[in-house]
Every structure is written in C-alpha cells, then in structure tokens.
Structure 1
Amino acid sequence: MDEVDKILIHSLRQTGTDVGKDVQSVKHFTSELIVEAVVKCLRVIDPALGSGLSPSLPPGMSARFRVGMSLAQACQDLGYKGEIGYQTFLYSNEPEIRSLLMFLVEKLPRESAEASDQPAGKSALLQKSIAAQIKAQLALPWLSPSCRLPLLCKTQNPGPSHSFHSQTLSLPHCLKVPGKKQLKGKPQNTQSPLNLLVCKENDYHRDFLPPVTAQPSQHASVPASLLEQHAGELSATQEWENEWNSQGLLSRLTPEEYRSRKRARLQKRIEEQLRTAAQTRPDTLGAHGSGSDLPELLQSFGGSPLIGDILAKGTRFTHTEKLTFTEEPEKAAKQMAAAANSLPSSHQSEEDLQARQQEELASLQQQLQQLSLSLEEVGGDMRQLTVSIHQVSDELKQKELSNTEEEDSVRVKKQTIYLLPDGENNLAKLQALVEGSAERVVNLAAQWEKHRAPLIDEHRRLKELCSNQEVESSRKLSEIKELHEKISQSAEEAKKKEGLYKQLITEFENLPKDISRSAYTARILEIVGNIRKQKEEITKTLSDTKELQKEINSLTGKLDRTFAVTDELVFKDAKKDESVRKSYKYLAALHENCTQLIQTIEDTGTIMREIRDLEELIETENGKKTVSNLEKILEDYKAIRQENSALAAKIREA
C-alpha cells in the first residue's frame, strides 16, 4: 500500500493540493487535507461540478456537516459506487479514503491529452499556475473588507488597475541588403545608398532610440503597447503566409518578384484613380489652384503628366481665354487702386464710409457674377467647339477612306484604258498569266501540303507535350502545397515536442537528486520479483490444495467401498454366528465414529478459517480508528449542543 499511497500523493500534488512533505501515507491525511484533495480533483475533472465547493472546512460544525454532504453528493454524481457520506470526510477511514482517492485519480484527465491540447514549456507551467491562482480566487466568496479573514485579505486585495491603452512603438528590425552575395577576395561596396541608409538607421537605433519601456508616455501602457505591436506583426505574417500559399504559389514567382509586382499594380491603380479624378473635375483643379500639384504627384508615382500640359503652346481659344481672364483681374486691380486713392478724408463720417464700402462691395459682387456668367459661356462654347472638332475629325476620316477607294478604282480604270487598243493580245496574255498563276498556286498548295503534314504533327506533339507539362506542373504544385502543409505541421509538432522536452527538463531539474535512477530501478525490480514469488507461492498452494482434495476424495471413495464390501461380508456371516454378529455391531460403531471424527476435523478447519477472517476484520476495524472517531463524534456533539444553546440564548435575548 505504500507504493499506492505515494502514487496517490504525487497525483494530488499535480492537481494543486498542498500535501506536506511529511505526509507519506493516506493514514496521515487530516480531514482538512482530505476535503482539499477531493475538491481539487473535482475541479480538475469537472469544473462546473467543483466550482461551487469550498476546499477548506468552515469552523462551525453544522457548516462542516453541510460541506461533507455536498462533497458526498458530488462524488456520487461523478459515479462513485461505494458507501460515502459526511462521515467519510469528517471521521476519516483509511480504506474508504484510499478507495475514494483512487477513484478520483483514475477520473483525472490523462497527461497525454493535456500535452496535446495545451502548449508545453516554461510558458505552459506559468499559464497553469496563473490559471490555478485565478480559479482559486474565483472560487472564494466575496466579502466586505470588514468581514474578511487574513487569507481573504491577501487574496481579495483590489490592487492597482489600469485601462488598456496602447501606443505605437519603434522597434529595431534586422535589415538585409538585397543583392548578390559577396564574393571572396572582393571588397563589398559600402558606399551604396542602401548601405549608408542601413548604417545610419543602425546608428539611430544604437545612439538615439529610447528603450521600449521609455517610449510610451505612461509606464502602465508598456504591456498593452507590446501586446498590440506583437498582435499586429503576427496578423501581418499570417496574412502574408495565407496570401502566398493561396495566390503566390500559383503565380510561380519568387516572393520578392511577387511583392514588387503587387506594389507596381497598386501604384498603377492609384495613378489611374488620380487621373480619372483629375479628368472628371477640371474646374475644381483650376479654382483651387492645385493643377500644378497633380502632375508632380503623378510623376512621383511614376506616371506621366496630364494631357493638358503637353499642349504647352496653346491654341487660339486658350490664348483668348487667357487674355480675357488676365484683363478682368487687371481692371479689378485698377478699380481697387482708384477706390484706395479716393478714400474719404478724416472729416467724413463713418456712415458715408460704410455706404461707400457697401456700394463697392455690390459693384464687386456684380462684376463677379458677370465674370462667372462669362466663364460659363466660355465653358459652353468650349464644349461646343470640342464636339464640333470631333465631328469634323470623323468626317475627315470618312473622306480620306472614300478618297483611297476612288484612287484605287481610278488606277484600275487607267490600266484598263491603257490595255484597250490591243485587247485580244492582252486578253491572251492575261489568260496565260491567270493559268500560270493557277498552276503556281496548285504547285504551292502541293508543296504546302508536304510541309503542312509534319508541321501539324509537330504542333500536335508540342501541344500534347505542353498539356502534359501543365498537368505535371499542377501535380507538382499540389505536391508543393502538401509539402508546405506537412512542413508547417512538422514545425508545429517540433515546437510542441521541444516545449515538452523543455518542460520535462525543468521537471527533471526540480526533482530531488539524492535518489538515483538505479535505486528506482532496483526497487521496481524488487517489487516485480516479490510479485512473481507471491504468484508462484499462490500457484503452488493451489496445486497442493487440488492434490490434497483429490487424495481426500479418493480415500473417501476407497473407504466407502471398503466399508460396503466388509459390511456385506460380515452381514452374511452374522446371520449364522453370534460372535460375527457382535463384530458387525463393532464395525458399524467404528464407521460411525470415524465419520464423526472426519466431520469434527472439517468443522475445526471451518472454525479456524472463520477465526482468521474475524481476526482480519478486527484488524480492519482497528485500522478504521473507531475509538478516535467516536471521541471526535462526542466532541462534535458537545460543540453542536453548545452552538444550539448559544443560538437559543440569542433568540431569547432577541
């Protein structure tokens, strides 16, 4: 039982039960320790079932009875079939407690399932300890500060709390200069702009960049900022991996080429959006004076300037518009200067000054309306002229096409007129030329057929080869995807195994070093040897018992047969002789006495077995600590009576 108790204690310590080092067996468990162990096991097995149970016994006896009954009900709900009640926890019995703890330990989830579902390593141990502390704190009931015990004052202290406020952090990243690898014996060009930029950035990171803990405005924002930065980088990495696995592999490009192609596509889209915006609203560009900024912006994106800038010389209409719009501001400037020269003197009243200003404002608004009307008229004329220009250009193209057709017909007619005087000879020559052309066409067709057949075969072969290559490439692409998935799965498994290895190393380092592996091995081998010897002795005892039973059965049968034969022979002679009759009586008495003796021996064996069973029961009852439990029950009874009397006194006083 010592080995079983050690295994139970080790399992209970893994669930978070505070089992002292001096406790080496179940018989040393106190009622408080039993309750704590059962509650911790129930919380690990079924958190919903064990979350409402307290791991500590309350001071009042009635509350203790309720805790014991609730624990017994929870164990029965979990499937425990043995006898259990409040007495199992308050008045502990070693065999019952051992069987209950064995049942709970067998119900605990296996370490393999936990290791497959949860990450391993030092972080996993830290997370487990944090989760255990949080569960323990959540299981405790909340009380007001005036009613808290010293333990609750420690666990339910509010402590400092801060809001989750993150700020952008500047983190140094390792930059690699793209390009060819440096050859041996050739110095690398350290004066390139990218190398200088990397060097300056490294100098900035080394000399001027403050540490991460000093970058936020408040020290409480450091964890939130780090979590936000890490989450952003992790999400960006996952998005890139998903995009590369879904679209990048299908493009059959390297990651650098795929990124440059995506950047160029995005740059082209922005350029097109800016160009369409500039073409749809040219009046707003001219009104706000941002027409010169747009070409610079397009040139910065790698685009060409606007089409309007190509016509730098301008047309008659643009010159007229420029003169119109330049003369109007000059007139307005002259009027403003005249108004400034004709300012009223100091002796004029403020009312006259305000009246003149109102008149000037009305005249300027009238001029502005006239200018806007003229601008609208010019815009309408410009649109009409543009439409007329498009119409004229279309008519010009149609006229050019008709001219080319007429020139071709005139050329044919000229040649026909030139050949008319000698029509018969020319017709014969034309006929011969047509026949020669027909024969040449036939010869060319035959030659083309000769060349066409191998070309068609070659085309079909190349087409089939191309289709086979496409099928092969698609198959290889699918294999590459599967390999990528296998690599990612293998990497995850390697990380889990590495974390599990680190966890096992830490647990091994935390184990006591005074006992070596050889001692454990020798102890295990000794236990196995003792079990083997016990099995051999049990087998030998069973075989001896079977042989003895067989011998007893054979002797009993032989005795019965001998008595039957002797009884028959003596009974025949007893009818004739008186002395033989007495011998028959003595034979019957001897047989009866022997039967009684055998029955007495069998009863003696049965009584001895019953005595041994009773002795074992006595030892078991002595192990149940009945006397001490009765003393505890009496003390608890007295405590309950005192509590009842105190409550009755309080009721009478009230």
Structure 2
Amino acid sequence: MEEVDKILIHSLRQTGTDVGKDVQSVKHFTSELIVEAVVRCLRVIDSTLGSGLSPSLPPGMSARFRVGMSLAQACQDLGYKGEIGYQTFLYSNEPEIRSLLMFLVEKLPKESAEAMDQPAGKSAILQKSIAAQIKAQLSIPWLPPSCRLPLLSKTQNPGSWHSFHSHNLSLPYSLKVPGKKPLKEEMDYRKDFLPPVTAQPSQHASVPASLLEQHAGELSAAQEWENEWNSQGLLSRLTPEEYRSRKRARLQKRIEEQLRTATQPRPDTLGVHRSGSDLTDLLQSFGGSTVAGDILSKGTRFTHTEKFTFTQEPEKAAQQMAAVASSLPSSHQSEEDLLASLQRQLQQLSLSLEEVGGDMRQLTVSVHQVSDELKQKELSNAEKEDSVRVKKQTIDLLPNAEDNLVKLQALVEGSAKRVVNLATQWENHRAPLIDEHRRLKMLCSNREVESSRKLSEIKELHDKIRQSAEEAKKKEGLYKQLITEFESLAKDVNRSAYTMKILEIVGNIRKQKEEITKILSETKDLQKEINSLTGKLDRTFAVTDELVFKDAKKDESVRKSYKYLAALHENCTQLIQTIEDTGTIMREIRDLEEQIETENGKKTVSNLEKILEDYKAIRQENSVLAAKIRDA
C-alpha cells in the first residue's frame, strides 16, 4: 500500500491539492485535506460538479455536515459505487478514503489528451495558473467588507480600476515593408529616439490595452491577406510581390480618377474653381502626367458651354461689379449700416445666382433634347436618302428593261457561280481551320484542367504546410513545456532506482501469482485425493459391512466384530467431521483477526471521540441559537 499511497499523493499534488511533504500515506490525511483533495479532483474531472463546492471545511458543525453530504452526492453522481456519506469525510478511515481517492484518480483526464487539447509552452503554464487562481476566487462567495475573513479581505478587496483605452504604438517590426530595405535614418531613429512601448502611451495603465489592440490588428490583417491570397491571389498566377504591386497600382488609379472627377465643376457653380490648381500637385504625385490646364479643359459639353458663356461676357460682369461698387455706402456711414447693406446686396447676388443657375439647368436640358432630336432626324434622313437613291437607279433602268434584265440575269448567274466557287474555296480552307480550332480548343481545355489540378494541388500543399507549421509549433511548445517541467524536477532523483523498484514490485507480484497458482493446484490435488479416499472408504466399508453381516448371523464372535466395525466407522466419521469443523473455525478466526485489524485501522475510538466532541459542539450551537431566539 505504500507505493499506492505515493502514487495517489503525487496525482493529488498535480491537481493542485496542498499535500505537505510530511504526509507519506493516506492514514495521515486529515478531514480538511481529504475534503480539499476530493474537491480538487472533482473540479478537474467535471467543472460543473466541483464549481459549487468549497475546498475548505467551514468552522460550524452543521455547515460541515452539509459539505460532507454535498461531496458524497457529487461522488455518487460521478459513479462511485461504494458506501459513502458525510462520515466518510468527517470521521474517515484508511480503506474507505484510499478506495475513494483511487476511484477519483482513475477518473482524472489523461495527460496525453490534455496536452493535445491545450496549448503547450510557458504561456500555457501561465494561463493554467491564471485560470486556477480565477476559479479559486470565483468559487469563494462574495461577502460584504464587514463580514469578510482575512483571506477574503485580500482576494475581494477592490483595487484600482482603469478604463480600457488603447493608443497607437510604433513598433520597429511593424514598420518593415516587404522587399524594401529600411533606410539608415529610420534605423538610427528606432535605435536612438524611438521610446519603448511602455513609455509611448500617455498612461501606464493603457499599455496592455494598446498591445492587445496592436496585436489584434496585425493578426486580422494577416488573416485577411491569407484569405485574399488563397481565394484570389492563387488564381491570378502571380507572385505575392507582383500581386501586391498590381493591387497598389489599381488603388492608385482609382484615387487618381476620383480626384480627376472632383476637379470638374458642378452645374450649380459659377466661375472657374480654384480647386483644380490646388489638386494639380497631388495628381502629379500620384503619377498623373497632365497639367492643370489639361485637367480643367477635359470635361463634359456643359463645362465647355459654361466656360464659353462666362468668358464671352466679361464686360457685363464688369458692369455688374461697377454697379455694386457704386451702390456701396460712403465712408461717413456707420459700420452697421455698411454691414447691413452688404448683406442685402449679398442676398440679392445669391438670388440672382440661383436664378441664373436655374436658367442654365433648363437650357442644358433643352440642349440635350434638341441634340437627341437632331440625331433622330439625321438617321431618318439617311434612311430616306438610301431609299431615294435605290428608286432613282431603278427608274433609270426602266427605258431599256429587256437588255437590263438580260444583263442582270447574267450578273446574277455570275454572282451565283462566284458564290459557289467562293463557297468551295471556303470549305477547302474551313476544314483544316476547324480541325486546328478543335485541336487548339482541346489543348486549351487540357491545359485548363491541368492548371486547375495544379492549382488544387498547390492549395492542398498550402493547407498541408499550414497544418505542418501548426503541428510543429505545438510540438515545439510541448517540447519547451517538457523541458521546463524537467528543469523544475528535483535533480537528485535517480531514474534507475525507480526502475529497479518497479521491477522488484513486478517480480514480487509475479512470485505471488506463482505461489498462489501453486497453492491452488496443491489444494485441488488434495481435494481430489480426499474425495478419492472418501469414496474408497465408503466402498470398503460397504463391502466389509455386507460380508461381516452375513457371517454375524451364524457366529456370535463375528457379531461382536460387526458391532466394533460399526463403532469404528462412526468414530472415524466423527473424527473427520471434527477435523473439518476445526478448519472452518480456523478460517473464521483468521477472518475475525482481519476484521479486527480493519476495525483498528478505522480509528473507531478516535472517531467516537470526535463524534462526541462534535455532538457537544452541536449542542452548544443549538443552545446559542435557542438563546438568540428567546432574546429576539
């Protein structure tokens, strides 16, 4: 049992149970340690069963009984078939606790499955410890500050709260552009002037939020690029650099078109806009080869009409400006009157501008309608001219109709022969062209099938590469975790000693099995021999009894021998029965001795003392509660 207890203690320590180094066997377990071990195991096996259970015993006896009943019910729900109740935890004995802990340890998830399902590495160990701390804190009920114990005052004490604010961070690795070497000035700036990440946010509490935001953005960008490359990039049959450059060129062209469109004046505006000259440099920076005059000169028919209209009447505009200047008030007027008059004139000008804009829009619509009607008239005139020309030629041919008919018939026959000849020549050219077209089409389809097959193979290879990279990353993390665990293990442990001990245990078990098999075989042989001797004795007695009984009818001395024979047989039967009863009594004695040892191991006396103490404590609690009720 010593080796079994060591294995149990090692497994309980892996679940997070605080088993002291002085505890070397299950018989040294206290009630508090038993409750903690069972709760930790239940939380690892099934979090729903162990989430509402506390790993520590409360001070009150009634609460202890409730905790014991809850643990017993949870173990029964998990499938434990042995006898279990509150007494198993409060008044424990060694065999019951050992069997219960063995059942729970067997129910624990295997390390291999856990390692495959969870990420490995130092980060995984940190996450496990964080999750354990959070679960431990969540399992403790919340209490008001006035009712908290010292432990709860530490864990439930409100600390400083910070809102989640993120700031843009400047990271050296995020500034790298694929296929472009960083400049020396940039490298000097990063090395000498770029502050560290912890100093870039305005508040130190915003550093985790900023890092999380930066990492989430980079991760989403990488995932979007991977999805776009797998869906569109592979179909384009370009390298990633060429695909990026083509995408950048398309974006630049769209921006240039948008800016070029924005420079064109709208119908409801007057005069020449100055925005075109402001956007000239910007267009040239995007690779545009046009100058400001070219940009502004290119436009719709309305823009040319508008420009022509407003350039044809400069004298009229000058007269309006002179009228406005003449209508301005003199210098001796007050500033308020000047401002009011200017506002009125501005309103009048705005109204006149709106009227002119409305007239221009109506004129533009009418010009469009007239141009459409003109196009329709030109088409109808062209059709009529064609029909008139045909009719005129027909009328010119009417005076010499017979000769013209003969000529027309000869022309038709010549045309028919020429058409037949051309058709024959076309067929001669068409047959090899069709064969060539079919051959090229088949070759093209074969190439498309081959390219699609290769594309699917490339996608499968990409998936396999990604899966292999993920598996390699997991295995590398697992390797790092195993290295960390190996380094954390005690160095004075000798593997060969444990191996020898395991081999010795296996050898002892094998010897015990051989001895048990030998004893069983000897017992079977003895039982066969006893059965054969008993049968032989019965048969011998039956034959002897029959022979002696025949002679006893004739001779008195033989009659006495018969009586002695019967008495001897009866005495031998009683002796055999006595020997069997002695063996049965010896077995019962051994069973009773084992039961006595078992009862001694159950610590009955100490449990009775604990029960009496708990009974006194319950009576005292009941008396206190009764006194409180009377006072109330």
Q: TM-score, normalised by structure 1?
A: 0.84
Pair 1:252-2:233 in alignment: no
Give 2:228's match in structure 1, choosing from 213, 226, 243: 243
Show the counterpart of 2:219. 234
- Farther off after superposition, 35-44 or 89-98: 35-44
Q: Is 1:553 the counterpart of 2:531 in the alignment?
A: yes
Secondary structure of the 2:160 match is: coil
2:321 to 313, 332, 336: 332
Post-superposition offset of 1:165:
0.8
Q: Is the 8 A contact 1:6 1:24 kept in 2?
A: yes
CA contact (8 A) 2:260 2:295 kept: no
Residues 550, 198 of structure 1: alpha-carbon distance in 2 compared, 3 angstrom cutoff: same
Range moving further from structure 2, 129-138 or 491-500:
491-500
**Corresponding position of 2:469:** 491
Q: 2:252–2:286: 8 Å Cα contact kept in structure 1?
A: yes
Matches within 5 A, 1:376-455: 376-377=358-359, 380-381=362-363, 384-385=366-367, 388=370, 445-446=423-424, 448-455=426-433
Paired AA for residue 332 in structure 2: P
Q: Deviations over 1:523-558 (max 9, x none)?
A: 111111111111111111111111111111111111
Structure 1 CA distance for aligned equivalents of residues 469 and 298 of structure 2: 59
Are residue 500 (structure 1) and residue 478 (structure 2) matched? yes
Distance 2:59 2:433 in 1: 103
Contact 1:42 1:50 survives alignment (8 Å): yes
Deviation at 1:478, TM superposition (A): 2.1
Per-residue Cα deviation, 1:237-294 (whole angstroms, up to 9, x for no partner): 1111122222222232222232233333444444555566666934348586434445
Q: Matches of residues 158-237 of structure 1 in structure 2 within 5 Å?
A: 158-173=158-173, 198-237=183-222
Paired position in structure 2 for 1:511:
489
State the Cα distance separating 1:331 from its structure 2 match.
4.4
| Corresponding residue for residue 331 of structure 2 | 343
Q: What is the deviation of 1:39?
A: 1.4
- What TM-score, normalized to structure 2? 0.87
Q: Of the candidates 540, 545, 562, which is equivalent to residue 518 of structure 2?
A: 540
Secondary structure at 2:275 match in 1? coil
Cα separation, partners in 2 of 1:83 and 1:239, compared to 1, 3 Å? same
Q: Judging changes above 3 Å, is the alpha-carbon distance between structure 1 residues 307 and 387 closer, same or farther for their aligned structure 2 residues? A: farther
Give 1:37's aligned residue. Answer: 37
Counterparts of 2:342 and 2:137 in 1: how far apart (Å)?
Answer: 81
Deviation of 1:582 (Å) = 1.1
Residue of structure 1 in register with 2:612 after alignment = 634
Structure 1's 99 and 339: CA in aligned 2 closer, same or farther, altered over 3 A?
same
Contact 1:45 1:108 (8 Å CA) reproduced: yes
Q: Secondary structure at the match of 1:539?
A: helix
2:130 is matched by which residue type in structure 1?
Answer: I
CA distance in 1, matches of 2:410, 2:165: 98
Q: 1:448 to 1:370 in 2, by over 3 A?
A: closer
Distance in structure 2 (CA, Å) of the matches to 1:473 and 1:315: 52
User: Which letter does structure 2 place at the counterpart of 1:550?
Assistant: K
Cα distance, 1:486 vs. partner?
2.4
Check whether the contact 1:93–1:625 (CA below 8 A) recurs between aligned residues. Answer: yes
Asked if structure 2 preserves the Cα contact closer than 8 Å seen for 1:68 and 1:89, the reply is yes
Q: Deviation per CA, 1:405-446: give whole Å up to 9, x if none.
A: 9999999999x99xx9xx99xx99x99999888777666655
In the TM superposition, residue 624 of structure 1 has moved relative to its aligned partner by: 0.8
Partner of 1:565: 543
Please tell me whether the aligned partners of residues 39 and 54 of structure 2 are also in contact (alpha carbons under 8 angstroms).
yes
Query: 1:525 aligns to what?
Result: 503
Q: State the shift of 1:62 in Å.
A: 2.8
Instruction: Tell me the distance in 2 between the aligned counterparts of 1:378 and 1:124.
Output: 74
Aligned residue for 2:169, secondary structure, equals coil
1:299 positional shift: 5.0
Deviates more, 1:561-570 or 1:70-79: 70-79
SS in 1 for 2:18: coil
Q: Aligned partners of 2:607, 2:306: CA distance in 1, in Å?
A: 117
1:482–1:357 CA distance, 2 compared to 1 (3 A):
closer
Q: Which moved more, 1:224-233 or 1:469-478?
A: 469-478
CA contact 1:169–1:225 (8 Å) conserved in 2: yes
**Alpha-carbon deviation of 1:599?**
0.9
The change in CA–CA distance for 1:69 and 1:329 in structure 2 (over 3 A counts) is farther
- The amino acid across from 1:171 in the alignment is L
Determine if the alignment matches structure 1 residue 68 to structure 2 residue 68: yes
Residue 593 in structure 1 maps to residue 562 in structure 2: no
Q: Per-residue deviation at 1:622?
A: 0.9
CA contact (8 A) 2:269 2:357 kept: no
572-581 vs 443-452, which moves further = 443-452
Which residue of 259, 266, 275 corresponds with 1:281?
266
Shift of 1:489: 2.2
Whole-Å Cα distance in 1 between the matches of residues 359 and 270 of structure 2?
19
Are the equivalent residues in 1 in contact too, given 2:268–2:357 (CA < 8 A)? no
Alignment gaps of 5+ in structure 2? none
Cα contact 1:175–1:198 (8 A) shared by 2: no
Distance 2:93 2:616 in 1: 22
Match of 2:297 among 309, 313, 330: 309
**Residue type matched to 2:590 in 1?**
R
Deviations 1:15-36 (A, max 9, x none): 1110111211111101110011
- 1:442 to 1:339, Cα distance in 2 relative to 1, 3 A: closer
- Aligned 8 A contact 1:278 1:285 in 2: no
Deviation at 1:404, TM superposition (A): 9.5
Residue 136 of structure 1 aligns to a residue in which SS?
helix
Amino acid aligned to 1:110: K
SS of residue matched to 2:183? helix
Does the 8 A contact of 1:285 with 1:291 survive in 2? no
Distance 1:390 1:80 in 2: 94
1:321 aligns with 2:310: yes
Change over 3 Å in CA distance of 1:71–1:307 after alignment to 2? same
Percent identity for Structure 1 against Structure 2: 75
CA separation of 1:18/1:403 partners in 2, compared to 1, >3 Å: closer, same or farther?
Answer: same
Task: Give RMSD over aligned pairs.
Answer: 3.8
Q: Comparing 589-598 with 432-441, which one deviates more in the overlay?
A: 432-441
More displaced 10-residue stretch of structure 1: 56-65 or 228-237: 56-65
Q: Secondary structure at the match of 1:283?
A: coil
Deviation at 1:474, TM superposition (A): 1.9
CA distance in structure 2 between the aligned counterparts of 1:539 and 1:387, rounded to whole angstroms: 115
Give the aligned residue type for 2:162.
H
Distance 1:366 1:48 in 2: 80
Q: Which residue of 2 aligns with 1:606?
A: 584
- CA–CA separation in structure 1 for the residues paired with 2:270 and 2:514: 106
1:275/1:357 CA distance change after superposition, 3 Å = closer
- Comparing 129-138 with 434-443, greater Cα deviation is found at 434-443
User: SS in structure 2 opposite 1:20?
Assistant: coil
CA contact (8 A) 2:263 2:295 kept: no
| CA–CA distance in structure 1, aligned partners of residues 424 and 498 of structure 2 | 97
| Aligned-residue offset at 1:403 | 8.0
Report the AA paired with residue 204 of structure 2. Answer: H
Aligned partners of 1:643 and 1:559: how far apart in 2?
74
More moved, 272-281 vs 234-243: 272-281
Find the counterpart in structure 2 of residue 189 from structure 1. Answer: none
Question: Unaligned 5+ residue runs, structure 1?
Answer: 180-193
In structure 1, the residue corresponding to 2:173 is in which secondary structure?
Answer: coil
- Using the TM superposition, give the Cα deviation of residue 105 of structure 1 relative to its aligned residue in structure 2, in angstroms: 1.7
Structure 1 residue 452: Cα displacement: 3.5
* 1:117 alignment partner AA: D
- Would the alpha carbon gap of residues 585 and 234 (structure 1) be closer, same or farther in structure 2, given more than 3 Å must change? same
